[in-house]
């Protein structure tokens, strides 16, 4: 009977093989603790909210503010109103600015990427019909080619911006594309959505969500359409229509029905999109599967709400004619309400403070910014005044622009479907498998060369070179699997290598059974036989699972995949040791060949 690797390997290499997995396991636990601790800290103490607002009697100055104290961090001249709109990244460290200037009687539009609060210019991007995503549309309909920038939304890391334009003459057409800020280039694709009056964009790590509000819901039968796009190619992965739930309703304070409820807000809440209409009906859509999972009934029988601000526990709504209401997110019930000193149209809900139970609210009448305490709905004393916030600037250009200063989006594990998470975890398992296989062979290079020569005697003279190529292939496959832009190539490489390993294991079980296998080198003892064949078939199954949603894993999935493979290797080692001890007690003689 062939002796196990446990007896055939020198004591020093056995110690190495035990110490390395133990060290990796300890590091894995430490990394997990650090990551979870960092996540807790980032959700509480790392908040640096920032606010951009026009100021002065005529709005020809832009203030960059710390809204917590009202401190002015920078003052930017805005002569001739060249700065039309500002879009701040979630972290509040950069912004895309729409800048318009006249050149020979023709408006020239560009986007400027600037740092905050120091206002340093990082990049400029022209906005016209010649940019790659709009050029094909201009060729089809030159008369309606000139784009009007509508909105911009940043990814959580601030390196990608989803951009929406309106084009067309008679009926506006929504056009959505992306701008790669890291490489400073436009995407070469565009999604067009006709008969849309508004849009919300959510660039996530694995998809771009577009929520388009129908221009005339009574004609289309839908409140809104939701699209899930591939952020790289722009391909539509899924589409969902939110059906019209009520017919004509009156505006609050009137008796005659005027129009159907329309979407006023869309918030990302962990794994759900919360879509709110102006009668405060709430639709909950699963982000991963793009299915409507719940509809909470309307809180009003009128068109009452104008704008909402979302917090983890409450939704704050500005309601006609002069009210602020607080809605419990879990029960979807109004818990408090208060009247303001003037018409709701003169107030602007700005955004939530990420570290305190307050939201910021601005008044056009006294031009001041305050906080609204969510426990009492009481307004604070003014934090800063002299803001310039007429209703048309707020309604058409989105002023003031606010960022919480901390990324509060849910982990990607929660914003994708369970199947996508499982596929990403499978990719992580494959990456960990190939990484540990390469490491194990490297740690026991001499023995791995001998074992390879024993399994395939015809190649024994070149075993050293073949092993070097194998380690390089496994290392390269690991890298390809973990990079988002190369994960498909990594899966192709992993599948090919596993098929080769399966073929070699089938050959070995017939020609040289029960020989030490160099599969994981010093990290995982194994003999050629059915167990190795089953393991390779299992890994091929893992690869096919990963192909269902080919994408690179995120850090928690990488750690979980590494843990799974380390546990499997150590269980294999224990099983091999137990087998050797039991066999030795029966008095079996072992062949001690390496």
Q: Looking at the domain assignment, is residue 215 inside a domain?
A: yes
Asked which of 171, 198, 233 is the last residue of a domain, the reply is: 233
Which CATH number characterizes residue 359's domain?
2.130.10.10
Q: Is residue 393's pLDDT more than 90?
A: yes
Q: Looking at the domain assignment, is residue 23 inside a domain?
A: no
Q: Looking at the domain assignment, is residue 24 inside a domain?
A: no
CA pair distance 53, 51, nearest whole angstrom: 6
**pLDDT tens per residue across span 17-52:** 445 455 555 555 444 444 444 443 334 445 689 999
Domain range enclosing 169 = 82-233
Most confident of 248-252, 440-444, 459-463, 556-560: 556-560
Q: Is residue 455's pLDDT more than 70?
A: yes
Residues 204 and 275 in one domain: no
398, 85 contact by CB (below 8 A): yes
Q: What percent of the chain is predicted at pLDDT more than 70?
A: 84
Residues 121 and 172 in one domain: yes
Which CATH number characterizes residue 114's domain?
2.130.10.120
Q: Looking at the domain assignment, is residue 133 inside a domain?
A: yes
Asked which of 362, 383, 412 is the last residue of a domain, the reply is: 412
**What phi and psi, each to the nearest 5 degrees, are found at residue 474?**
-65, -40
158, 91 contact by CB (below 8 A): yes
- DSSP bridge pairs for 100: 109
Q: Looking at the domain assignment, is residue 67 inside a domain?
A: no
CA pair distance 278, 391, nearest whole angstrom: 19
Confidence of residue 209 (pLDDT cuts 50, 70, 90): very high
**580-585: Cβ within 8 A, 24+ apart:** 580/3, 580/4, 580/6, 580/7, 583/1
96, 161 contact by CB (below 8 A): yes
Q: Looking at the domain assignment, is residue 46 inside a domain?
A: no
Residues 329 and 219 in one domain: no
Domain tally for the chain?
3
Q: Tokens in use for 516? A: 């030490």
The DSSP secondary structure of 132-167, one letter per residue, reads: TTTHHHHHH-GGG---EEEEEEE-TTSSEEEEEEEE
Q: Looking at the domain assignment, is residue 337 inside a domain?
A: yes
Residues 558 and 488 in one domain: yes
Q: Tokens in use for 222? A: 């839908």
Confidence of residue 6 (pLDDT cuts 50, 70, 90): very low
Residues 565 and 450 in one domain: yes
Between β-strands 323-328 and 333-339, what pairing exists: parallel, antiparallel or unpaired?
A: antiparallel
**pLDDT tens per residue across span 458-491:** 767 787 888 888 889 999 999 999 887 788 899 9
Q: What is the mean pLDDT of residues 347-355?
A: 95
Asked which of 189, 214, 233 is the last residue of a domain, the reply is: 233
Residues 566 and 512 in one domain: yes
Confidence of residue 319 (pLDDT cuts 50, 70, 90): very high
Q: Which residue has the higher pLDDT, 47 or 102?
A: 102
Q: What is the mean pLDDT of residues 227-247?
A: 92
Residues 439 and 571 in one domain: yes
85, 418 contact by CB (below 8 A): no
Residues 433 and 576 in one domain: yes
Question: From residue 278, how far is each of 275, 319, 408, 492, 553 by CA, in Å?
Answer: 10, 9, 25, 49, 39
CA pair distance 108, 68, nearest whole angstrom: 36
Residues 351 and 432 in one domain: no
Residues 439 and 380 in one domain: no
Residues 211 and 349 in one domain: no
Q: Tokens in use for 41? A: 């800290």
Residues 428 and 352 in one domain: no
Q: Looking at the domain assignment, is residue 251 inside a domain?
A: no
- Residue reference for tokens 């396991």: 25
Confidence of residue 344 (pLDDT cuts 50, 70, 90): very high
Question: From residue 432, how far is each of 15, 229, 312, 568 by CA, in Å?
Answer: 22, 29, 36, 11
């Amino acid at each position: 009977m062939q002796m196990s690797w446990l007896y055939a390997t020198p004591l020093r290499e056995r110690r190495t093989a035990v110490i390395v997995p133990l060290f990796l396991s300890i590091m894995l636990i430490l990394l997990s603790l650090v990551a979870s601790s960092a996540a807790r800290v980032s959700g509480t103490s790392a908040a640096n909210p920032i606010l951009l607002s026009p100021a002065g009697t005529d709005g020809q100055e832009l203030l960059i503010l710390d809204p917590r104290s009202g401190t002015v961090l920078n003052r930017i001249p805005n002569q001739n109103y060249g700065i039309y709109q500002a879009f701040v990244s979630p972290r509040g460290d950069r912004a895309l600015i729409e800048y318009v200037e006249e050149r020979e009687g023709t408006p020239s539009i560009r986007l400027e990427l600037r740092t905050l609060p120091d206002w340093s210019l990082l990049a400029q991007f022209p906005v016209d019909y010649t940019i790659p995503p709009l050029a094909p549309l201009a060729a089809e309909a030159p008369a309606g080619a000139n784009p009007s920038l509508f909105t911009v939304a940043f990814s959580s890391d601030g390196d990608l911006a989803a951009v929406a334009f309106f084009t067309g003459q008679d009926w506006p057409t929504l056009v959505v594309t992306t701008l790669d800020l890291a490489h400073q280039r436009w995407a070469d694709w565009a999604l067009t959505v006709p008969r849309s009056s508004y849009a919300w964009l959510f660039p996530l790590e694995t998809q771009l969500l577009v929520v388009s509000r129908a221009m005339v819901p009574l004609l289309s039968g839908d409140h809104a359409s939701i699209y899930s796009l591939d952020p790289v190619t722009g391909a539509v992965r899924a589409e969902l229509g939110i059906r019209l739930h009520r017919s004509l309703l009156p505006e609050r304070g009137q008796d005659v029905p005027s129009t159907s409820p329309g979407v006023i807000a869309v918030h990302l809440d962990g794994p759900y999109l919360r879509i709110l209409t102006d009668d405060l009906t709430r639709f909950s859509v699963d982000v991963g599967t793009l299915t409507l999972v719940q509809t909470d009934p309307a809180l009003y029988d009128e068109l009452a709400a104008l704008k909402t601000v979302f917090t983890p526990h409450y939704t704050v709504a500005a309601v006609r004619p002069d009210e602020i209401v607080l809605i419990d997110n879990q029960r979807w019930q109004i818990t408090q309400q208060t009247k303001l000193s003037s018409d709701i149209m003169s107030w602007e809900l700005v955004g939530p403070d990420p570290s305190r139970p307050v939201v910021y609210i601005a008044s056009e009448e006294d031009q001041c910014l305050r906080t609204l305490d969510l426990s009492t709905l009481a307004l604070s004393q003014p934090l800063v005044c002299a803001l310039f916030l007429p209703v048309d600037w707020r309604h058409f250009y989105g002023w003031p622009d606010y960022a919480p200063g901390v990324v509060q989006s849910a982990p990607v594990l929660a914003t994708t479907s369970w199947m996508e998470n499982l596929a990403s975890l499978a990719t992580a398992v494959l990456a960990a498998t190939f990484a540990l296989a390469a490491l194990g062979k490297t740690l026991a290079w001499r023995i791995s060369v001998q074992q390879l020569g024993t399994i395939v005697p015809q190649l024994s003279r070149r075993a050293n070179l073949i092993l070097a190529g194998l380690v390089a292939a496994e290392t390269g496959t690991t890298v390809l699997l973990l990079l988002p832009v190369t994960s498909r190539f990594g899966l192709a490489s992993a599948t090919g290598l596993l098929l080769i390993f399966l073929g070699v294991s089938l050959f070995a079980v017939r020609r040289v059974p029960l020989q030490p296998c160099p599969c994981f080198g010093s990290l995982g003892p194994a003999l050629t036989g059915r167990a190795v064949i089953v393991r390779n078939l299992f890994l091929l199954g893992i690869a096919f699972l990963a192909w269902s949603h080919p994408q690179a894993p995120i850090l928690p999935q990488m750690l979980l995949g590494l843990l799974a493979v380390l546990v499997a290797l150590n269980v294999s080692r224990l099983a091999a040791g137990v087998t050797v001890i039991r066999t030795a007690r029966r008095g079996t003689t072992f062949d001690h060949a390496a």
